[in-house]
Structure 1
Amino acid sequence: MVRTRTIEILVGAFMAAGFVALFFLAMKVSNLSSAPVGDGYHLTARFDNVGSLKVRSPVSMAGVRVGRVEGIDFDKSTYEAVVTMIIDPQYDTIPDDTFANIYTSGLLGEQYVGLDAGGSPDYLHDGDQLIHTQSALVLEQMIGQFLFSKAQEGVQPQ
């Protein structure tokens, strides 16, 4: 009887630890685990296509998270996506000719904004816009272009 009760307690503890681990995994994947950035300065960037970029996606530079995506809107006059980012205040020396790219990371395909520093001596400030951008790569478009180029060559895809 004591042995059965001990086994039941161990199984219950194992199940509770499993649920806690699943909870933390779900928070990590959904980007809800990190607190809002709060203070910082805002930057905007315009993209032709943001893919599956989401609010609270990381903004990174040289592999270091320097901020978060705060909002994604659609400009009806230019038909572009306008991404608003909030950058942590300690990263206040980002050159004003920095490139903003949308990259995909990991097996789950989470997308994030990657900043590549330019060489300007002037820095970005609150409310500035990143001029140089590269949109997300869409897998379906890449496959379509590949098949079209093969068809143009006269090679049949197998």
Structure 2
Amino acid sequence: MGTTRTMEILVGAFMVAGFVALFFLAMRVSNLSAAGAGDGYALLARFDNIGSLKVRAPVSMAGVRLGRVEAIDFDQETYQAVVTLRIAPAYDQIPTDTFANIYTAGLLGEQYVALDPGGSPDYLANGDQIQHTQSALVLERMIGQFLFNQAQESSQ
């Protein structure tokens, strides 16, 4: 009877370890484990269409993650999405003429903000706005334009 009790305890401990590992994996995949949400400096970017960009989406330059999307708001005067980017303090030399683009990563379609540096000798600071932005490409809109162009060509 002692060996079955020991076996039950070992199986229970193994199950608990498995659930803990699964929890940490889920946090890692969903970007909820990102620490340091308050450090760094904020940049603003305005987009006509952000697609399915979400808060906590990565902000990267040259494939290196510099920060995360901190907030997404809507400007009722310009009818644009205002995205607040939280950039890590180590990356404080981003040129003022940098481009902000929304791209899709991977098969799951997670969107992120990619920064393409300009050549300005001046750098963006806390609260500055990125002037050059490119909205997300919406697949439905591209397909609609393609079908419209094909219909026009066939009618001529």
Give the structure-1-normalised TM-score: 0.86
Post-superposition offset of 1:69: 0.9
SS at match of 2:39: coil
One-letter code of the match for 1:62? A
Gaps of 5+ in 2: none
Instruction: Give me the CA root mean square deviation.
Output: 2.1
Post-superposition offset of 1:107: 2.2
Post-superposition offset of 1:25: 2.7
Tell me what 2:86 maps to.
86
Q: Structure 1 residues 87, 7: CA separation in 2 closer, same or farther (over 3 Å shift)?
A: same
One-letter code of the match for 2:143? I
Moved over 3 A (4+): 1-18
Tell me what 1:113 maps to.
113
SS at match of 2:51: coil
Post-superposition offset of 1:53: 1.0
Asked whether 1:100 is paired with 2:64, we answer: no
Post-superposition offset of 1:52: 1.1
Out of 110-119 and 138-147, give the one that drifted further.
138-147
- Contact 1:37–1:67, Cα closer than 8 Å, also in 2: no
Q: How many residues align?
A: 155
Tell me what 1:66 maps to.
66
One-letter code of the match for 1:140? E
Identity among equivalent pairs (%): 77
Tell me what 1:46 maps to.
46
Q: Structure 1 residues 147, 18: CA separation in 2 closer, same or farther (over 3 Å shift)?
A: farther
Q: Structure 1 residues 77, 7: CA separation in 2 closer, same or farther (over 3 Å shift)?
A: same
Give the structure-2-normalised TM-score: 0.87
Q: Structure 1 residues 3, 89: CA separation in 2 closer, same or farther (over 3 Å shift)?
A: same
Gaps of 5+ in 1: none
Q: Structure 1 residues 23, 39: CA separation in 2 closer, same or farther (over 3 Å shift)?
A: same
Post-superposition offset of 1:132: 0.4
